[in-house]
Structure formats: C-alpha cells, structure tokens
Amino acid sequence: MEKLAEEVDDLEKGIQADRNYTVERGINDLLKVLAAHGRADTTVQTYRELVDLHLIPHLGKARVRELTADDVETWLFDRADKLSTSTLGILHGLLTRALRRAQRHDKVARNVSELVDTPRGRASRPSMLLSVKQATLRLREALHGRHRLGPYVALGLLAGLRTEELRALRWEQVDLEAGTVVVVRFARFGGDTKTAKSRRGFRLSQLAVDALFAARAQQAADKLAAGPAYRDHDLVFASLTDGPGRRSRCCTDSRR
C-alpha cells in the first residue's frame, strides 16, 4: 500500500517513475550538459574534482526525491570549516542546478537546495607576497643552493611563470640555445591553457637559462639513479619516478 501511495503521489506531482535517480546521477548529467554546451574543459574538470571530493561522497547516494533541505544544510555546514566561501558557493550552486535540471525533467517535485543559504566558509589564507629584498634572497638561494627545486623556484621568479605552467613545462617548449620558452599548457587540469592569451612565448634571461641547464643536469642524474623505474614524460620539473609534480609536493618542497 505504501508503494502504491508513493506512485499516486508521484503521478499527482507529475514526477516520472524513476525513483532511483540519485544526486550523483543528477550531478553527472549536469556536468555532461555543461561540457556539451561548450563550457571550458578546465572548468568542467574543476567541477568534477570538487564534486568527487566534497559532494558525491556525502550526498551522492541519496535519491533526489527523498533529499531534504536539512540534508543539504547539514552537508554544507560539514564542509564549511574545510572549504572557502567561494568553493562552498560553487558546490552549492552545482547541486542547485543539478536538482533544477532534475525538476525540469520531472524527476523531483521541488528543489530543496534552493531553500538553503550557503554558509560562510573557512577564512582564506592571506596572500604571501615577497618584497624585492625577499625575492632577491630567495632567488640567490635557488640559484646557488643545493635544493633540487632550486631551478623551479628560480625560473618562477625570473620568468614570472605560474606554478601550473612550471609543473607542466616540457623540454620541447624550451630552446636552451636560443634562450626562449613557449608556455602552452597548465598542469592543474591536464590540458591546454584556458585562453589564447595564456599561450605565450618569450626570451629568458641568462640566469633563467642557467636554471634550466641545472634542471636538465639534475634530471639526467635522476634518470641514471632510477634506471628502468624512471618514467620520462619530457617534463622539466617532475619527481624522481612519476609524472607532473603535484602542487602540494612542489610547494612543500620549495619551502624547505
């Protein structure tokens, strides 16, 4: 009788019979639509990483027709001390849009996510800008110290490259004899730079060229030490046996 009552209620509300349509399916459908409608690959990949980490593990298995505003609010407050306000807003917005789409396709009667306000997230860490003196000291240490990421830090300071660009930089983009580099891709999401303006080539200072020569020498030593275990991705900056240096690893190592 309970099942029959649910069917009658669904018919009255115009909801289709797919009672097993989950939040995860709704999110996946939304991301497919965004990609199909021309949203940048990097943006969709960002959304995918966020929902895989912070939404689907918590609400993914819930059926959209049974999801409540309390469920959404509890999830948001649980994430609030771990994520920034802007990231919370993105996640909440994705859930709202996924449910709105499900509502449009008659899979749920109302969008409970719209009933919930996005809470304030974790306070953002203040930017750590280097003074000229600090940058000079850091550069001197990078150029003359023995840290394996010295060339990474030096090139970032001398060429003004983003961390994503440094981690994705390949030797095929570098001409050491001419002293030039062409930046054509980001490492963060594994694809080309988001805009044509980000594809840029420029001449390097001699100090930057020297840093790249040091990086190549270090990499040659790494290959010799690792032997068959070394995986060559043609990357200028990579860990000993794997591919593009992960952001957390590069940032942590460069602070040592």
| CATH number, position 94 | 1.10.150.130
Q: Looking at the structure, tell me whether residues 94 and 45 fall in a common domain.
A: yes
Compute the distance between CA of residue 250 and CA of residue 233 in angstroms, rounded to an integer. 17
The number of domains in the chain is 2
- In this structure, of 48-52, 92-96, 186-190, 237-241, the range with the lowest mean pLDDT score is 186-190
Q: Looking at the structure, tell me whether residues 149 and 175 fall in a common domain.
A: yes
Q: Looking at the structure, tell me whether residues 76 and 139 fall in a common domain.
A: no
Residue (of 185, 184, 188, 199) closest to 250 by Cα position: 188
Compute the distance between CA of residue 104 and CA of residue 32 in angstroms, rounded to an integer. 16
Q: Looking at the structure, tell me whether residues 139 and 43 fall in a common domain.
A: no
* pLDDT tens profile 177-202: 999 988 865 544 444 444 444 567 88
* % of the chain exceeding 70 in pLDDT: 77
- In this structure, of 80-94, 98-112, 143-157, the range with the lowest mean pLDDT score is 143-157
pTM score, two decimals?
A: 0.53
Report yes or no: 116 and 76 within 8 Å, Cβ to Cβ. yes
Q: Summarize the confidence of residues 106-112 as an average pLDDT.
A: 94
Q: Looking at the structure, tell me whether residues 55 and 137 fall in a common domain.
A: no
The alpha helices in the chain, defined as continuous H runs, are 2-13, 23-36, 41-54, 56-59, 69-80, 85-104, 132-144, 150-159, 163-168, 206-226, 247-255
Q: 252 vs 223, which has greater pLDDT?
A: 223
